[in-house]
Amino acid sequence: MTLDELYMGKALAEAETAFAVEEIPIGAVIVHENTIIARAYNLRETLPCATAHAELLAIEKACRHLNRWRLSGCTLYVTTEPCPMCAGAIVNSRLDRLVYGCPDPKAGAVHTLFHLTDHPRLNHRVAVTAGIRADECADLLRRFFRLRRKKRVPPMP
């Protein structure tokens, strides 16, 4: 198992926690010098807060841990391709690297709909590795939404 696969497993564990509390199962961890310094999962419904995405919560924790806003030297592992809001935060926080699991065909802002992490007009570019444990990440999302449809939970506002 590679380090990327290992750390993605930690992000998947966060996503499983989100699933258990009926949040969309997306998990994230941030690694600095081979140590996890932040862990988070989606909390939009729980808080309720539109910006409570796993990536943003992990970035906030990492900044507090390192006592700086620049997260150079850090890698973010997240189970799903980040949305535009999260991709913007990844660039603005100066993360060196992003590793994600499965693509997001509806909101992906790294490779799918937009290419924010390597946009030539932005002042920072992030190295990206995609597809790490992608099947497991996508499976978790499919199980969540299948269960939600089965329960006939009304769509979120």
Cβ proximity of 78 and 87 under 8 Å? no
Structure tokens at 6: 């290992």
**Residue 86 assigned as binding residue:** yes
Cβ partners under 8 Å of residue 66, min gap 6: 32, 37, 74
Residue 21 φ/ψ, nearest 5 degrees: -100, 15
**Residue 63 assigned as binding residue:** no
**Residue 53 assigned as binding residue:** yes
Which residues are catalytically annotated? Answer: 55
Looking up tokens 């497993």 gives 9
Which residues pair with residue 96 across a beta bridge? none
Binding site feature residues for Zn(2+)? 53, 83, 86
Binding site feature residues? 53, 83, 86
